[in-house]
Amino acid sequence: MALIAEMFRVLEILRGAEVAAAVVKGPPLSVRAFANPSFRQYVDVDFLIRSSEIERASGALLAAGFRGEISADAVGKRKSPGQYTFRRSKDRPLIELHTERTLRYFPKPVPIEEFLRRRTTVTIDSRVVPVLSVEDEFVLLAVHGAKHFWERLMWIADIAALVANYPQMDWTRVQKTAEGVGADRMVRVALLLAERTLQAPIPAEMSTEIESDRACLRIVNKIESWLLYAGQQPPALLARALFRFQMRGRLLAGAGYLTRLTLSPTEEDWIEGSNERAASLRESLRRPFRLARKYRRDQKETGQG
């Protein structure tokens, strides 16, 4: 209830600042998937806005008493974190703002204007909440699951529930959007994974595509091998790299996707260093070493090292 209340609060702040937004995942997804905003777990509320409006949105939230974890200087210089996080105090719910620039796990740039133009609404506690179209949300969920290696059954249940609850979903639109952002294999893997683990029927419009992508089954088998550990035994560094590479489907595209993710710095790479543009090259070169240390440490802590 606290998260839902904070969602309404932030929506009012963004409306007052004339910032177009859509709530993604979280309470609206719980309504879409399970017909109740409290039936699905979530620990924060995510909003998607234009990158060009992040300064205005950030300023409005700060003026309303929120505290940002990304410095105003970094926001002003358009540095791209994994997300822009805000909360009113340590014991208050976490708010995350995303833009087309923070959604780095989309292989190609998110068409933010199209996503916002196709917005629709869901009703929560008699209040209207702006959300992405179900087709765009479906693609976003497929990318989000792939980002986190599908380590939680909940994310697969979301996919299965949307397939079941939206028989009218425009799969031609899903395919077109997925192809546009380079996530076509991610969508195929999501559907096959939901079918294999939760017996969710694959839409007839997608069955031929999935059957013709022979790598999908191998990828799903690999996901099932670590799904049992629910994120407590994450894939090793090389397995992670191979998974990222395979998500793009083609050799050069896979290499480009993996390279971009490896070299694109986030706040973990630059928050303690200089915010000057001249530092960006050093941050990019430092990032692969930080990732290697991080995942080597994770493997030791889970007994894999």
pLDDT in tens, 223-250: 999 888 876 777 888 899 999 999 998 8
pLDDT at position 11, please? Answer: 98
**Residue 48 pLDDT > 60, yes or no?**
yes
pLDDT at position 67, please? Answer: 93
Structural domain range at position 155: 133-233
Largest CA distance in the chain: 53
Q: What is the mean pLDDT of residues 53-80?
A: 88
Q: From CA 174, how far away is CA 167, in angstroms rounded? A: 13
**Residue 28 pLDDT > 80, yes or no?**
yes
Residues 138 and 117 in one domain: no
pLDDT at position 277, please? Answer: 53
Question: Would you tell me the crossing angle of helices 2-16 and 54-63 to the nearest 10 degrees?
Answer: 120
pLDDT at position 287, please? Answer: 72
Residue ending a domain, among 207, 233, 259, is 233
Looking at the chain, the whole-number percentage of residues with pLDDT higher than 70 is: 88
Residues 122 and 152 in one domain: no
Q: What is the mean pLDDT of residues 99-119?
A: 96
Based on the structure, what is the number of domains in the chain? 3
Residues 14 and 116 in one domain: yes
Q: What is the mean pLDDT of residues 158-172?
A: 97
pLDDT at position 269, please? Answer: 67
pLDDT at position 232, please? Answer: 75
Looking at per-residue confidence, does 25 or 289 come out higher? 25
**Residue 276 pLDDT > 60, yes or no?**
no
pLDDT at position 233, please? Answer: 74
Nearest to 122 by CA among 201, 182, 55, 33: 33
Tokens coding 295: 């995942």
pLDDT at position 210, please? Answer: 96
Q: Are 77 and 277 in contact (CB under 8 A)?
A: yes
pLDDT at position 263, please? Answer: 81
Q: Are 123 and 28 in contact (CB under 8 A)?
A: no
Residues 7 and 127 in one domain: yes
**Residue 118 pLDDT > 80, yes or no?**
yes
Q: Are 49 and 98 in contact (CB under 8 A)?
A: yes
In DSSP terms, 68 is beta-bridged to 86
pLDDT at position 305, please? Answer: 42
Looking at per-residue confidence, does 33 or 235 come out higher? 33
Residue ending a domain, among 182, 201, 233, is 233
Q: β-strands 120-124, 127-131: how paired?
A: antiparallel
Residues 3 and 101 in one domain: yes
Q: Are 93 and 6 in contact (CB under 8 A)?
A: yes
**Residue 209 pLDDT > 80, yes or no?**
yes
Q: From CA 39, how far away is CA 158, in angstroms rounded? A: 11
Residues 207 and 265 in one domain: no
Q: From CA 7, how far away is CA 13, in angstroms rounded? A: 10
Contacts of 276 (CB under 8 A, 6+ apart): none
Q: What is the mean pLDDT of residues 278-286?
A: 65
pTM of structure: 0.90
Residues 194 and 265 in one domain: no
Q: What is the mean pLDDT of residues 295-300?
A: 60
Residue carrying structure tokens 């992670």 = 240
Looking at per-residue confidence, does 295 or 159 come out higher? 159
pLDDT-based confidence at residue 279 (cuts at 50, 70, 90): low
**Residue 291 pLDDT > 80, yes or no?**
no
Residues 142 and 92 in one domain: no
Residues 155 and 55 in one domain: no
Q: Are 32 and 165 in contact (CB under 8 A)?
A: yes
Q: From CA 162, how far away is CA 302, in angstroms rounded? A: 33
**Residue 139 pLDDT > 50, yes or no?**
yes
Residues 126 and 228 in one domain: no
Strands (E), the chain: 22-24, 44-48, 67-68, 84-87, 94-98, 120-124, 127-131
Residues 10 and 122 in one domain: yes
pLDDT at position 228, please? Answer: 84
Tokens coding 50: 């234009």
pLDDT at position 27, please? Answer: 95
Residues 86 and 188 in one domain: no
